[in-house]
Amino acid sequence: MNILVMARSSFIIGLLFLSVFSAQNSHAKPGHDWVKILGTPPEDSSVEEQEDYNTLMNYQVTRTDEECELASKEEKVSLKNFFGGKDGPLTKKEVRKLRPFFLKYFLKAGIPSMKAKNHFKRPRPFVKFEEIEPCVKRPAGKSFPSGHASVSRIMAYALSFKFPKRAKKFFKRANAIAKNRMLGGVHYPSDIRAGKKLADYLAAKFFKNKKFMNELLGN
């Protein structure tokens, strides 16, 4: 199957993962690692969960149709969707040139988040609270951590190595993508924080890999 066809589905993309991460962590105990790396989701009826809920309800009553439309455009995980486009930090030429590299390494970055989701089994906000109404497509799977927050942030790290003068723009975009998952009603703030922690952890792994760095800087 052509990998570009598979890339159209974030679910299928996630199933491709993780040559680098798996190879370096095959000895690890996943359940214990996720808690160490990400912490744990807020407990039911805790103050932290109430804060998560309040944030999403505030977004729900203040978001605009334009904001929801933008959040919907970011549903599919891709270099173009995240950092290209009319107002993106990358040019069309840069997106085309870097796409194979990012397909190889970063669209794979869904599997750690999928494994962590399956470990923690936190329900999506709209599953637990019926009054939360997403304005983007309701994704399947669990909520903690956010895959969009993780993948967009680790992409931002790599792009900042490649184009250091645009680093602030890349991380601004990654933060906006993460925020839009909350605005859209499909992730809690604590999911987003955990996704960013996962990206920080994975970035440290990737950037110690000489082959990875040579490919990144040589593209």
Please compute, for residue 213, the number of CA atoms within 13 A of its CA located in the half-sphere on the CB side: 9
The answer to whether residue 5 scores a pLDDT higher than 90 is no
167-211 pLDDT per residue, tens: 999 999 999 999 999 999 999 999 999 999 999 998 888 888 888
Least confident window among 9-23, 53-67, 144-158, 159-173? 9-23
Domain ranges of the chain: 64-218
Give the pLDDT confidence of 83-126 residue by residue, as tens digits. Answer: 998 889 999 999 999 999 888 877 566 678 888 999 999 999 99
What residues contact 181, with CB distance under 8 A and at least 6 apart? 71, 146, 148, 149, 187, 191, 192
CA 154 to chain CA mean position, Å = 8
Residue 155: per-residue pLDDT: 93
CB 60 within 8 A of CB 166: no
Counting Cα atoms < 13 Å in the Cβ hemisphere of 72 gives 12
- The reported pTM is 0.83
Asked whether the bond before 134 is cis by omega within 30 degrees of 0, the reply is: no
Q: In the CATH scheme, what architecture does the domain 64-218 have? A: Up-down Bundle (1.20)
Cα three-residue angle 13-5-104, rounded to 5 degrees: 50
Distance of CA 16 to the CA centre of its chain: 15
Closest listed residue to residue 183, CA positions, set 17, 60, 53: 60
Alpha-carbon distance of 206 to 212, in angstroms, equals 7
Half-sphere exposure of 216 (CA within 13 A, CB side): 23
Query: How much is the CA Rg of the chain, to the nearest whole Å?
Result: 17
Residue 209 amino acid letter: N
Closest CA relative to residue 56, chosen from 148, 1, 147, 130: 130
**Residue that has been written with the tokens 């932290």 in this structure:** 48
Are the CB atoms for 198 and 145 separated by under 8 Å? yes
Q: How many residues does the chain have?
A: 219
Provide mean pLDDT across the span 43-61. Answer: 97
What whole-number distance in Å separates Cα of residue 152 and Cα of residue 78?
9
Neighbour-count burial of 44, counting CB atoms closer than 10 A to its CB (0-12 exposed, 13-18 middle, 19+ buried): exposed
Residue 13 pLDDT greater than 50, yes or no = no
Query: For a pLDDT cut of 90, what percent of the chain falls above it?
Result: 66
